[in-house]
Amino acid sequence: MREILDLRSDTVTQQPQEMRDAMYKTEVGDDILRDDPTVIELENKAAELFGKEAGLLCTSGTMGNQVSVMTFTERGQEIIVGEGTHILNLEVNALSTLSQVYARTIPVENGYFDPKIIEENISTGDIQRAKTGLICLENTYNLNRGFLVTPKNIAEVREVADKYNLPIYMDGARIFNAAMALDIELKELAKDVDALMFCLSKGLSAPIGSVVVGSADFIKRARRFRQRIGGGMRQAGFIAAAGLYGLEEMLPQINKDNENANFLAKKLRKIDKVEVYPKVIATNIVVMDIEETGMDSELFLEKLEKKNIKVKHVAPTQFRLIAHYGIEKEDLKYVVDSIQEVIE
């Protein structure tokens, strides 16, 4: 029987043996006491990659996002977020329950954060309205589309933020995919934001973890918020070792994932009555729509699973497929052939 081809997310990736070996052999200590050398090495390397002063290892992207919002804002403030962002839609309303801020949403078309719309939604505060405390970006934008947010666009937002003396935070869960697609250095994508988070457990293939990077003062304060919500860790070097391996060895894989997703999209577009989004596949995310086929979505999933293929149901007739480590072009050819058979 063919092994399971799981394209639901890059978070399902199985780690290479070399990464597991690195985790087993690493030197560890108590991270709360700042005694874990591997965690410190990872945090310093991450900060250097993005041109920031310091880093903070968190257990997840959600933790990194919420710790950052807590650090930048005061309770009761507003923050500006794109209406399709993870930090708003997929973190169990943590913005209001943990950070206790109000999310003022703005439309974001194809990954473009319009500075005019952002400025229109900034509040300087008065007796009746809360003050805006933070602007949040996301790169790539929209977990079901993977739109690129360009350095030029970020610089435009920076101009508005500076006008109102506001910090900018970026959820960069898949920022490596963005950097590869844009063919620019990570520092270029990070230079106009005050802090950002990136995931170790997506394209970098680590089993757990995300890292927040920013100024030394910001990270010092963020470390206390991480502790407050139970994010303090002891021998976290085992986690950090996987992250270090990812940063040192897995970056070429991310470019391969982007290319494989583009290959997949081109093949899927050849199937009659199947729509593929986004129109331009820049990163590792592909969404297919089977509405025109008239096929029941649950039946579609069931038949694919019988062929040992898993995809994510993201809308009534739409399914997400993400390329990641362990998925090769031959696998994708099998996936496309199987989809063709299933819908006929």
Q: What is the mean pLDDT of residues 290-294?
A: 96
Do 5-11+250-343 and 17-248 agree at the fold level? no
Per-domain residue ranges of the chain = 5-11+250-343, 17-248
Contacts of 265 (CB under 8 A, 6+ apart): 276, 281, 286
* Contact status, residue 276 vs residue 265, Cβ threshold 8 Å: yes
Which tokens belong to 104?
């003022």
Choices 3.40.50.720, 3.90.1150.10, 3.40.640.10, 3.40.50.1820: CATH for 17-248? 3.40.640.10
For residues 223 and 213, what is the distance between their CA atoms, to the nearest angstrom? 11
Q: Kindly give the residue spans of alpha helices, DSSP state H, lying in 133-182.
A: 151-163, 175-182
pTM: predicted TM-score of the whole model, two decimal places:
0.96
Residue at token pair 């319009």? 114
pLDDT for the residue 130: 97
Residue at token pair 């920013």? 214
For residue range 109-164, list pLDDT tens digits in order: 999 999 999 999 999 999 999 999 999 999 999 999 999 999 999 999 999 999 99
- The model's confidence at residue 344, banded by pLDDT at 50, 70 and 90, is confident
For residue range 248-264, list pLDDT tens digits in order: 999 999 999 999 999 99
How distant, in Å, are the alpha carbons of 51, 125, 303, 320 from that of 294? 50, 51, 15, 18
* High-pLDDT (> 90) share of the chain, %: 99
pLDDT for the residue 2: 64
For residues 53 and 75, what is the distance between their CA atoms, to the nearest angstrom? 26
DSSP secondary structure code for residue 11 in this structure: G
**Alpha-carbon 59 to chain mean position:** 14
For residues 264 and 283, what is the distance between their CA atoms, to the nearest angstrom? 12
Domain 5-11+250-343 sits in CATH 3.40.50.11540: no
Which tokens belong to 310?
């898993």
